[in-house]
Amino acid sequence: MNFPSELKYTKEHEWVRLDGDTATIGITDFAQGELGDIVYIDVDTVGDVIDKDEVFGTVEAVKTVSDLFMPVTGEISELNEALNNQPELVNSDPYGDGWLIKVKISDPSQFEGLLSVDEYQSLVGA
């Protein structure tokens, strides 16, 4: 399993990359492996401001559906449109082309409070 060291992580198995005040958010390699074939990303909260730990959407795999939680408070500025036709990108490239949303974050200190790669790896036993 692959866990890029420049990213921050959550116990809900999401990753966050910060670029200025924009956070890019996706699910981890561990999460996509557990979910199996992903068939649909349901996010209809673009433009909304959503609090940390609240649900911003769901990811549907063949067998299961799982909620997606905001790692940090902010306004969802963009959904990865490529996932409409190719949800399997989340499986094949979870940290790259399979990113889920971009968020204008409200409080940068929340980012610093997320899990480091080491903390996340020990969480999933990797």
Partner 1 sequence: MKTTALTQKHIALGAKMVEFAGYDMPVLYSGINDEHHAVRKSAGIFDVSHMGEFILKGPNALALIQQVTTNDASKLVPGKIQYSCFPNNDGGIVDDLLVYCIDDKTYMLVVNASNIQKDWDWIMKFNSHDVEMHNISDQTSLLAVQGPDATKILQPLTSMNLNDMVYYTFQKGVFAGCENVLVSNTGYTGAGGFEIYFENKYADTIWDAIMKEGMKFGLKPAGLGARDTLRLEMGFCLYGNDIDDTTSPIEAGLGWITKFSKEFNNSSALKLQKEQGVVRKLVGFKMMEKGIPRKGYQICDESGNEIGIVTSGTMSPTLNEAIGMGYVKSELSSEGTQIFIKVRDKLLKSSIIKVPFVKK
Q: Which residues bind partner 1 (CB under 8 A)?
A: 36-37, 39-40, 42, 58, 60, 62-63, 65
Considering the complex, state which of residue 2 and residue 63 has its C-beta at the smaller distance from partner 1: 63
Least CB distance to partner 1 at residue 112 (A):
32
**Which residue shows structure tokens 């971009």?**
102
CA quadruple 92, 69, 12, 64: dihedral sign: negative
Considering the complex, state which of residue 63 and residue 112 has its C-beta at the smaller distance from partner 1: 63
Least CB distance to partner 1 at residue 54 (A):
14
How far is residue 110's CA from residue 93's CA, in Å, rounded to a whole number?
Answer: 26
Considering the complex, state which of residue 65 and residue 82 has its C-beta at the smaller distance from partner 1: 65
Least CB distance to partner 1 at residue 44 (A):
8
CA distances 55 to 3, 96, 120, Å, are 23, 22, 20
Least CB distance to partner 1 at residue 87 (A):
9
